[in-house]
Amino acid sequence: MGIEVRGLSDTGFTLFELLVVISLMAVLFLIIPGLDGNSLTKIANEDEVQRLVDLLRWAQRRAILHGKRHYLTLDPVNESYRIYELEGDEEKVLKKINLEGLDMIGLNRTVKGMEQTFYYTPQGTPVFGCTITLEDKWTRWNVVIAVGSGKIRIDRE
């Protein structure tokens, strides 16, 4: 009358164990090729575009809170942009951002003499609508700012 204990077999793996291991390997083989250097660069560039949108929204909120005109200037040559606060004739640089890995095409609108500048009024409304275009070798992003409401959306091409 002994107690029989069943454990792992000394002769090999069960069919279930083999199926689990093969399934895990298949999932890894599907995931790993998607995380090559290009994919990581694409993710970083998406983050860079989102950072521009977040800073535009920040400048809009700050214009409302402080009751001062805020503006963004683009420098496509140096791949950078700045956000300023304007009070009278005095302007103060709030943020200067250098783009990493993206080409800045520029700001598209029809106001002559201010081709690379975008303004928020002290009420937080944009003076005009515009499109800021950024691109890398895979994707082109248009950051579209609506006149009046100031809503911002990102269009990918």
Average pLDDT, the chain: 80
Contact in structure between 96 and 82 (CB atoms under 8 Å)? yes
**pLDDT digits over 16-70, tens only?**
989 999 999 988 877 776 666 566 677 777 888 888 899 889 999 999 999 999 9
Q: In the structure, what pLDDT confidence band is assigned to residue 106 with cuts at 50, 70 and 90? A: low
Inside any domain, residue 108: yes
Inside any domain, residue 24: no
Inside any domain, residue 10: no
Which residues span the domain enclosing 98? 45-156
The arithmetic mean of pLDDT across residues 71-100, rounded, is 84
pLDDT reported for residue 72? 86
- How many domains, the chain? 1
3-state helix, strand, coil in the chain (%, to 5): 30, 35, 35
Amino acid at 105: I
Q: pTM for this structure?
A: 0.68
Inside any domain, residue 2: no
| CATH number of the domain to which 58 belongs | 3.55.40.10
Closest CA to 135 of 96, 106, 114: 106
Inside any domain, residue 145: yes
% of the chain at pLDDT higher than 70: 78
pLDDT reported for residue 65? 94
Inside any domain, residue 139: yes
Beta bridge partners of 133: 106, 142
Gap between the Cα atoms of 71 and 63, Å rounded: 9
Q: In the structure, what pLDDT confidence band is assigned to residue 140 with cuts at 50, 70 and 90? A: confident
Inside any domain, residue 136: yes
Inside any domain, residue 99: yes
pLDDT at position 92 over 60: yes
pLDDT at position 1 over 60: no
The larger pLDDT score, comparing residue 15 to residue 33, is at 15
pLDDT reported for residue 110? 46
Question: What HEC string does 59-127 produce?
Answer: HHHHHHHHCCEEEEEEECCCCEEEEEEEECCEEEEEEEEECCCCEEEEEECCCCCCCCEEEECCCCCEC
CA 34, chain centre distance (Å): 19
Q: What is the DSSP letter of 34?
A: G
